[in-house]
Amino acid sequence: MRKIEVGILGATGMVGQHFVRFLQDHPWFELTWVGASDRSAGKKYRDATSWRLDGAMPSPVADLMVEECKPGNAPRLVFSATDASVATEIEQAFAQAGHVVVSNSRNHRMETDVPLLVPELNPGHLQLIPLQRQRRGWSGQIVTNPNCSTVVLTMALGPLKPFGITRVIATTMQALSGAGYPGVASMDITANVIPFIGGEEEKMQQETQKILGDFRGDRVEPLAARVSAHCNRVPVVDGHTVTVSVELSAKPSEQELIAALRGFTGVPQERQLPSAPAHPVIYMEESNRPQPRRDAGRERGMAAFVGRVRECPALDYKFVALGHNTIRGAAGAAVLNAELMHSEGLLDS
Ligand code: NAP
Protein backbone atom coordinates (compact mmCIF):
# COMPACT_ATOMS: atom_id res chain seq x y z
CA MET A 1 0.00 0.00 0.00
CA ARG A 2 1.28 3.45 -0.87
CA LYS A 3 1.58 5.49 2.29
CA ILE A 4 -0.44 8.67 2.81
CA GLU A 5 1.74 11.76 3.08
CA VAL A 6 1.19 13.78 6.24
CA GLY A 7 2.45 17.05 7.70
CA ILE A 8 2.71 18.52 11.19
CA LEU A 9 1.80 22.11 12.03
CA GLY A 10 3.91 23.17 15.02
CA ALA A 11 6.35 20.31 14.41
CA THR A 12 9.22 21.90 16.34
CA GLY A 13 7.35 22.14 19.69
CA MET A 14 6.91 19.56 22.42
CA VAL A 15 3.72 18.02 21.05
CA GLY A 16 5.08 18.32 17.53
CA GLN A 17 8.08 16.23 18.58
CA HIS A 18 5.75 13.61 20.02
CA PHE A 19 3.99 13.52 16.64
CA VAL A 20 7.33 13.07 14.86
CA ARG A 21 8.22 10.16 17.12
CA PHE A 22 4.78 8.54 17.07
CA LEU A 23 4.60 8.69 13.27
CA GLN A 24 7.98 7.03 12.85
CA ASP A 25 7.51 3.75 10.90
CA HIS A 26 3.74 4.22 10.79
CA PRO A 27 2.28 1.62 8.40
CA TRP A 28 -0.19 4.03 6.69
CA PHE A 29 1.26 7.53 7.12
CA GLU A 30 4.56 9.04 6.01
CA LEU A 31 5.77 12.34 7.44
CA THR A 32 6.92 14.49 4.52
CA TRP A 33 6.22 18.06 5.65
CA VAL A 34 6.87 20.04 8.83
CA GLY A 35 5.61 23.53 9.64
CA ALA A 36 6.34 26.00 12.43
CA SER A 37 6.63 29.75 12.99
CA ASP A 38 8.59 32.10 10.75
CA ARG A 39 11.38 31.84 13.36
CA SER A 40 11.96 28.26 12.20
CA ALA A 41 10.83 28.37 8.58
CA GLY A 42 13.64 27.95 6.07
CA LYS A 43 15.81 25.91 8.45
CA LYS A 44 16.28 22.18 8.46
CA TYR A 45 14.21 20.47 11.16
CA ARG A 46 17.40 19.41 12.99
CA ASP A 47 18.55 23.03 13.20
CA ALA A 48 15.17 24.52 14.07
CA THR A 49 14.34 22.04 16.83
CA SER A 50 15.73 21.49 20.31
CA TRP A 51 14.93 17.76 20.49
CA ARG A 52 13.70 17.09 24.02
CA LEU A 53 12.40 13.52 23.87
CA ASP A 54 14.35 10.44 24.91
CA GLY A 55 16.49 8.99 22.14
CA ALA A 56 17.71 10.62 18.96
CA MET A 57 15.64 12.67 16.54
CA PRO A 58 14.28 10.25 13.90
CA SER A 59 16.68 10.59 10.97
CA PRO A 60 14.17 10.92 8.08
CA VAL A 61 12.72 14.12 9.53
CA ALA A 62 16.03 15.74 10.46
CA ASP A 63 16.71 16.97 6.92
CA LEU A 64 13.18 18.15 6.14
CA MET A 65 12.99 21.88 5.57
CA VAL A 66 10.64 23.63 8.01
CA GLU A 67 7.89 25.55 6.22
CA GLU A 68 5.66 28.37 7.37
CA CYS A 69 2.25 27.17 8.58
CA LYS A 70 0.47 28.31 5.45
CA PRO A 71 -1.55 26.06 3.17
CA GLY A 72 -0.04 25.60 -0.24
CA ASN A 73 2.45 22.81 -0.57
CA ALA A 74 1.50 20.82 2.55
CA PRO A 75 -0.01 17.33 2.25
CA ARG A 76 -3.80 17.05 2.51
CA LEU A 77 -3.62 15.48 5.98
CA VAL A 78 -1.99 17.65 8.65
CA PHE A 79 -1.68 17.10 12.38
CA SER A 80 -1.81 20.30 14.37
CA ALA A 81 0.33 21.03 17.43
CA THR A 82 0.63 24.77 16.98
CA ASP A 83 0.66 27.20 19.83
CA ALA A 84 -2.89 27.86 21.05
CA SER A 85 -2.48 31.60 20.42
CA VAL A 86 -2.30 30.99 16.66
CA ALA A 87 -4.06 27.63 16.20
CA THR A 88 -7.53 29.04 15.44
CA GLU A 89 -6.49 31.00 12.37
CA ILE A 90 -3.94 28.47 11.12
CA GLU A 91 -6.24 25.46 11.41
CA GLN A 92 -9.15 27.29 9.80
CA ALA A 93 -6.96 28.45 6.91
CA PHE A 94 -5.89 24.87 6.25
CA ALA A 95 -9.46 23.50 6.43
CA GLN A 96 -10.62 26.30 4.13
CA ALA A 97 -7.93 25.29 1.64
CA GLY A 98 -9.14 21.67 1.64
CA HIS A 99 -6.87 20.09 4.24
CA VAL A 100 -7.92 17.52 6.79
CA VAL A 101 -6.73 19.05 10.08
CA VAL A 102 -6.41 16.61 12.95
CA SER A 103 -5.79 18.92 15.86
CA ASN A 104 -4.46 18.52 19.33
CA SER A 105 -5.10 22.14 20.27
CA ARG A 106 -7.97 23.22 22.46
CA ASN A 107 -9.13 25.98 20.13
CA HIS A 108 -11.88 24.18 18.18
CA ARG A 109 -12.77 21.36 20.58
CA MET A 110 -16.01 22.78 21.93
CA GLU A 111 -17.37 24.17 18.65
CA THR A 112 -20.70 22.53 17.91
CA ASP A 113 -19.78 21.32 14.40
CA VAL A 114 -16.30 19.99 15.30
CA PRO A 115 -15.94 16.36 16.42
CA LEU A 116 -14.12 15.92 19.75
CA LEU A 117 -13.13 12.33 19.22
CA VAL A 118 -12.12 9.37 21.31
CA PRO A 119 -12.45 6.68 18.62
CA GLU A 120 -13.45 3.92 21.05
CA LEU A 121 -16.19 6.10 22.57
CA ASN A 122 -17.80 8.31 19.97
CA PRO A 123 -16.81 7.41 16.39
CA GLY A 124 -20.33 8.45 15.35
CA HIS A 125 -19.47 12.09 16.11
CA LEU A 126 -17.59 12.08 12.78
CA GLN A 127 -21.05 12.60 11.28
CA LEU A 128 -20.59 16.26 12.20
CA ILE A 129 -18.09 16.60 9.33
CA PRO A 130 -20.57 17.09 6.46
CA LEU A 131 -22.36 19.71 8.56
CA GLN A 132 -19.10 21.45 9.36
CA ARG A 133 -18.17 21.62 5.68
CA GLN A 134 -21.60 22.86 4.67
CA ARG A 135 -21.86 25.52 7.40
CA ARG A 136 -18.36 26.85 6.95
CA GLY A 137 -18.23 26.45 3.21
CA TRP A 138 -14.86 24.76 3.20
CA SER A 139 -13.73 21.59 1.49
CA GLY A 140 -11.44 20.49 4.31
CA GLN A 141 -12.32 19.57 7.87
CA ILE A 142 -11.17 19.94 11.48
CA VAL A 143 -11.29 17.11 13.98
CA THR A 144 -9.94 17.37 17.53
CA ASN A 145 -8.81 15.13 20.38
CA PRO A 146 -9.46 15.90 24.05
CA ASN A 147 -7.37 17.51 26.71
CA CYS A 148 -4.84 15.08 28.20
CA SER A 149 -6.65 14.53 31.50
CA THR A 150 -10.12 14.40 29.92
CA VAL A 151 -9.11 11.46 27.74
CA VAL A 152 -8.15 9.42 30.82
CA LEU A 153 -11.43 10.21 32.56
CA THR A 154 -13.61 9.52 29.52
CA MET A 155 -11.91 6.24 28.63
CA ALA A 156 -12.65 5.03 32.17
CA LEU A 157 -16.22 6.36 32.17
CA GLY A 158 -17.16 5.26 28.63
CA PRO A 159 -17.65 1.58 29.55
CA LEU A 160 -19.97 2.70 32.39
CA LYS A 161 -22.24 4.81 30.17
CA PRO A 162 -24.81 1.98 29.75
CA PHE A 163 -25.33 2.09 33.54
CA GLY A 164 -26.51 5.72 33.32
CA ILE A 165 -23.84 8.13 34.55
CA THR A 166 -25.48 10.90 36.59
CA ARG A 167 -22.69 12.46 38.67
CA VAL A 168 -18.89 12.40 38.54
CA ILE A 169 -16.23 13.84 40.82
CA ALA A 170 -12.71 13.55 39.39
CA THR A 171 -9.42 14.62 40.98
CA THR A 172 -6.27 14.66 38.85
CA MET A 173 -2.60 14.22 39.63
CA GLN A 174 -1.12 15.55 36.40
CA ALA A 175 2.39 14.98 35.13
CA LEU A 176 4.90 17.71 34.37
CA SER A 177 5.14 16.82 30.68
CA GLY A 178 1.54 18.01 30.31
CA ALA A 179 2.75 21.57 30.89
CA GLY A 180 5.02 21.49 27.83
CA TYR A 181 8.63 22.73 27.94
CA PRO A 182 10.10 24.13 30.19
CA GLY A 183 6.85 23.65 32.10
CA VAL A 184 6.67 24.36 35.83
CA ALA A 185 9.78 25.79 37.56
CA SER A 186 11.66 23.12 39.51
CA MET A 187 11.62 25.33 42.62
CA ASP A 188 7.82 25.27 42.51
CA ILE A 189 7.19 21.57 41.85
CA THR A 190 10.00 19.66 43.57
CA ALA A 191 8.51 17.78 46.55
CA ASN A 192 5.32 19.76 46.09
CA VAL A 193 1.79 19.74 44.64
CA ILE A 194 0.29 22.71 42.83
CA PRO A 195 -3.50 22.65 43.22
CA PHE A 196 -4.30 24.73 40.14
CA ILE A 197 -3.91 24.33 36.37
CA GLY A 198 -5.45 27.26 34.53
CA GLY A 199 -8.60 26.37 32.57
CA GLU A 200 -8.11 22.65 33.10
CA GLU A 201 -11.11 21.95 35.34
CA GLU A 202 -13.53 23.67 32.98
CA LYS A 203 -12.07 21.75 30.01
CA MET A 204 -12.42 18.42 31.79
CA GLN A 205 -16.01 19.12 32.77
CA GLN A 206 -17.24 20.35 29.40
CA GLU A 207 -15.22 18.02 27.17
CA THR A 208 -16.35 14.95 29.14
CA GLN A 209 -20.00 15.85 28.58
CA LYS A 210 -19.44 16.40 24.85
CA ILE A 211 -17.40 13.22 24.30
CA LEU A 212 -19.90 11.02 26.14
CA GLY A 213 -22.83 12.80 24.49
CA ASP A 214 -24.99 11.39 21.69
CA PHE A 215 -25.10 12.48 18.05
CA ARG A 216 -28.67 13.62 17.29
CA GLY A 217 -28.78 14.13 13.53
CA ASP A 218 -27.28 17.62 13.43
CA ARG A 219 -25.59 18.08 16.80
CA VAL A 220 -24.11 16.34 19.81
CA GLU A 221 -26.35 16.32 22.85
CA PRO A 222 -24.00 16.47 25.85
CA LEU A 223 -24.18 13.78 28.50
CA ALA A 224 -26.62 15.03 31.13
CA ALA A 225 -24.29 14.10 34.00
CA ARG A 226 -22.91 16.64 36.46
CA VAL A 227 -19.12 16.51 36.27
CA SER A 228 -16.84 18.16 38.82
CA ALA A 229 -13.06 18.18 38.30
CA HIS A 230 -10.20 19.12 40.65
CA CYS A 231 -6.89 19.47 38.80
CA ASN A 232 -3.45 19.26 40.42
CA ARG A 233 0.11 19.31 39.07
CA VAL A 234 2.39 16.76 40.76
CA PRO A 235 6.10 15.89 40.41
CA VAL A 236 5.60 12.99 37.99
CA VAL A 237 7.24 13.07 34.54
CA ASP A 238 4.66 11.25 32.37
CA GLY A 239 1.20 9.87 33.07
CA HIS A 240 -1.90 11.59 34.42
CA THR A 241 -3.61 9.81 37.33
CA VAL A 242 -7.28 10.56 38.02
CA THR A 243 -9.27 9.40 41.04
CA VAL A 244 -12.96 9.20 40.23
CA SER A 245 -16.25 8.87 42.15
CA VAL A 246 -19.30 8.13 40.02
CA GLU A 247 -23.05 7.89 40.52
CA LEU A 248 -24.88 5.45 38.21
CA SER A 249 -28.66 5.29 37.84
CA ALA A 250 -28.74 1.52 37.13
CA LYS A 251 -26.90 0.67 40.38
CA PRO A 252 -24.78 -2.18 38.99
CA SER A 253 -22.89 -4.54 41.27
CA GLU A 254 -19.14 -4.10 41.67
CA GLN A 255 -18.60 -7.25 39.59
CA GLU A 256 -20.80 -5.91 36.77
CA LEU A 257 -18.88 -2.65 36.77
CA ILE A 258 -15.49 -4.37 36.61
CA ALA A 259 -16.78 -6.72 33.87
CA ALA A 260 -17.89 -3.69 31.83
CA LEU A 261 -14.41 -2.15 32.13
CA ARG A 262 -12.64 -5.38 31.26
CA GLY A 263 -14.89 -6.26 28.33
CA PHE A 264 -14.93 -2.81 26.78
CA THR A 265 -13.91 -2.58 23.15
CA GLY A 266 -14.65 -0.30 20.21
CA VAL A 267 -14.41 0.41 16.51
CA PRO A 268 -10.57 0.85 16.54
CA GLN A 269 -10.20 -2.65 17.97
CA GLU A 270 -12.75 -4.20 15.55
CA ARG A 271 -10.98 -2.59 12.58
CA GLN A 272 -7.52 -3.28 14.04
CA LEU A 273 -6.38 0.28 13.47
CA PRO A 274 -2.57 0.42 13.67
CA SER A 275 -2.37 2.55 16.83
CA ALA A 276 -5.31 0.99 18.66
CA PRO A 277 -4.44 -0.85 21.87
CA ALA A 278 -5.75 -4.42 21.95
CA HIS A 279 -7.82 -3.46 25.00
CA PRO A 280 -8.60 0.24 25.44
CA VAL A 281 -9.15 -0.18 29.18
CA ILE A 282 -6.95 -2.48 31.24
CA TYR A 283 -8.29 -3.31 34.69
CA MET A 284 -5.58 -3.97 37.27
CA GLU A 285 -6.28 -6.18 40.31
CA GLU A 286 -3.35 -5.05 42.46
CA SER A 287 -4.45 -2.71 45.24
CA ASN A 288 -1.55 -0.31 44.57
CA ARG A 289 -1.92 0.02 40.78
CA PRO A 290 -2.05 1.65 38.30
CA GLN A 291 0.99 3.85 38.88
CA PRO A 292 2.30 6.41 36.39
CA ARG A 293 5.96 5.33 36.39
CA ARG A 294 5.17 1.65 36.05
CA ASP A 295 2.10 1.62 33.85
CA ALA A 296 1.57 4.76 31.75
CA GLY A 297 3.94 3.66 28.95
CA ARG A 298 2.55 0.14 28.55
CA GLU A 299 0.58 -0.65 25.37
CA ARG A 300 2.64 2.07 23.59
CA GLY A 301 0.96 4.58 25.90
CA MET A 302 -2.40 4.12 24.16
CA ALA A 303 -4.49 2.31 26.82
CA ALA A 304 -6.20 3.62 29.95
CA PHE A 305 -5.44 1.70 33.15
CA VAL A 306 -8.10 1.41 35.84
CA GLY A 307 -7.89 -0.08 39.31
CA ARG A 308 -9.30 -0.06 42.83
CA VAL A 309 -13.01 -0.18 41.94
CA ARG A 310 -14.85 -0.09 45.25
CA GLU A 311 -17.98 1.35 46.84
CA CYS A 312 -18.07 5.09 47.45
CA PRO A 313 -19.96 6.34 50.52
CA ALA A 314 -20.77 9.63 48.78
CA LEU A 315 -21.67 8.53 45.22
CA ASP A 316 -21.90 4.83 44.10
CA TYR A 317 -18.38 3.69 43.17
CA LYS A 318 -14.87 5.06 43.16
CA PHE A 319 -11.74 4.01 41.30
CA VAL A 320 -8.41 5.23 39.95
CA ALA A 321 -7.56 5.73 36.27
CA LEU A 322 -4.27 6.45 34.50
CA GLY A 323 -3.19 7.33 30.97
CA HIS A 324 -0.12 8.59 29.13
CA ASN A 325 -0.72 12.32 28.74
CA THR A 326 1.55 13.06 25.78
CA ILE A 327 0.69 9.89 23.86
CA ARG A 328 -2.97 8.95 24.46
CA GLY A 329 -3.47 12.53 25.66
CA ALA A 330 -1.91 14.17 22.59
CA ALA A 331 -0.03 12.76 19.57
CA GLY A 332 -1.21 9.15 19.77
CA ALA A 333 -4.82 10.28 20.17
CA ALA A 334 -4.66 12.43 17.04
CA VAL A 335 -3.00 9.70 14.98
CA LEU A 336 -5.70 7.23 16.07
CA ASN A 337 -8.32 9.82 15.03
CA ALA A 338 -6.73 10.01 11.58
CA GLU A 339 -6.67 6.21 11.33
CA LEU A 340 -10.37 6.10 12.18
CA MET A 341 -11.08 8.74 9.53
CA HIS A 342 -9.07 6.79 6.96
CA SER A 343 -11.02 3.63 7.80
CA GLU A 344 -14.24 5.63 7.15
CA GLY A 345 -12.98 6.94 3.79
CA LEU A 346 -12.82 10.47 5.16
CA LEU A 347 -9.26 11.04 3.98
CA ASP A 348 -10.17 10.38 0.35
CA SER A 349 -10.11 13.60 -1.63
P1 NAP B 1 5.34 24.48 22.15
O2 NAP B 1 6.38 23.52 22.57
O3 NAP B 1 5.46 25.89 22.59
O4 NAP B 1 5.29 24.45 20.54
C5 NAP B 1 4.50 25.35 19.81
C6 NAP B 1 4.67 25.11 18.34
O7 NAP B 1 3.88 26.11 17.66
C8 NAP B 1 6.10 25.26 17.82
O9 NAP B 1 6.30 24.37 16.76
C10 NAP B 1 6.12 26.70 17.33
O11 NAP B 1 7.08 26.93 16.30
C12 NAP B 1 4.74 26.80 16.75
N13 NAP B 1 4.31 28.18 16.62
C14 NAP B 1 4.39 29.17 17.55
N15 NAP B 1 3.95 30.34 17.03
C16 NAP B 1 3.60 30.08 15.75
C17 NAP B 1 3.10 30.88 14.67
N18 NAP B 1 2.87 32.20 14.81
N19 NAP B 1 2.86 30.30 13.47
C20 NAP B 1 3.10 28.98 13.31
N21 NAP B 1 3.58 28.16 14.28
C22 NAP B 1 3.83 28.72 15.48
O23 NAP B 1 3.88 24.00 22.60
P24 NAP B 1 3.37 22.52 22.94
O25 NAP B 1 3.53 22.26 24.38
O26 NAP B 1 3.95 21.57 21.95
O27 NAP B 1 1.79 22.67 22.67
C28 NAP B 1 1.28 22.76 21.35
C29 NAP B 1 -0.22 22.74 21.37
O30 NAP B 1 -0.68 21.51 21.93
C31 NAP B 1 -0.85 23.84 22.22
O32 NAP B 1 -2.04 24.25 21.57
C33 NAP B 1 -1.13 23.15 23.52
O34 NAP B 1 -2.19 23.77 24.22
C35 NAP B 1 -1.50 21.76 23.06
N36 NAP B 1 -1.27 20.68 24.03
C37 NAP B 1 -0.06 20.54 24.67
C38 NAP B 1 0.14 19.45 25.52
C39 NAP B 1 1.45 19.21 26.17
O40 NAP B 1 1.59 18.15 26.77
N41 NAP B 1 2.42 20.10 26.07
C42 NAP B 1 -0.85 18.52 25.70
C43 NAP B 1 -2.05 18.68 25.03
C44 NAP B 1 -2.23 19.76 24.20
P45 NAP B 1 8.54 27.58 16.64
O46 NAP B 1 9.39 26.48 17.20
O47 NAP B 1 9.01 28.03 15.31
O48 NAP B 1 8.31 28.69 17.61
Name the band, by pLDDT with cuts 50, 70 and 90, for residue 338. Answer: very high
Query: If you average pLDDT over residues 149-155, what whole number do you get?
Result: 98
Give pLDDT tens digits for 258-288: 999 999 999 999 999 999 999 999 999 999 9
Q: Which of 39, 83, 152 should be mutated for ligand 1, with most atoms under 8 A from CB? A: 83
Ligand 1 atom with minimal separation from the 15 CA: 26
Tell me the three-class secondary structure of the chain, residue by residue.
CCCEEEEEECCCCHHHHHHHHHHCCCCCEEEEEEEECCCCCCCEHHHHCCCCCCCCCCHHHHCCEEEECCCCCCCCEEEECCCHHHHHHHHHHHHHCCCEEEECCCCCCCCCCCCECCCCCCHHHHHHHHHHHHHHCCCCEEEECCCHHHHHHHHHHHHHHHHCEEEEEEEEEECHHHHCCCCCCHHHHCCCCECCCCCHHHHHHHHHHHHCCEECCCCEECCCCEEEEECCECCCCCCEEEEEEEEECCCCCHHHHHHHHHHCCCHHHHCCCCCCCCCCEEEECCCCCCCHHHHCCHHHHCCEEEEEEEECCCCCEEEEEEECCCHHHHHHHHHHHHHHHHHCCCCCC
Query: If you average pLDDT over residues 140-154, what whole number do you get?
Result: 98
Ligand 1 atom with minimal separation from the 82 CA: 7
**Domains within the chain, CATH numbers bracketed:** 4-146+331-343 (3.40.50.720), 148-324 (3.30.360.10)
Query: If you average pLDDT over residues 245-253, what whole number do you get?
Result: 98
What is the Å distance from ligand 1's center to 86 Cα? 9
What is the Å distance from ligand 1's center to 309 Cα? 37
What is the Å distance from ligand 1's center to 211 Cα? 24
What is the Å distance from ligand 1's center to 283 Cα? 33
Exactly one of 18, 108, 125, 240 is catalytic; which is it?
240
Ligand 1: which residues within 6 Å by Cβ? 10-16, 36-37, 39-40, 69, 81-84, 86-87, 90, 104-106, 148, 177-178, 180-181, 326, 330
Give pLDDT tens digits for 60-84: 999 999 999 999 899 999 999 999 9
Ligand 1 atom with minimal separation from the 48 CA: 46
Quick check: is 69 catalytic? Answer: no
Please determine, for residue 309, whether its predicted confidence score (pLDDT) is greater than 90: yes
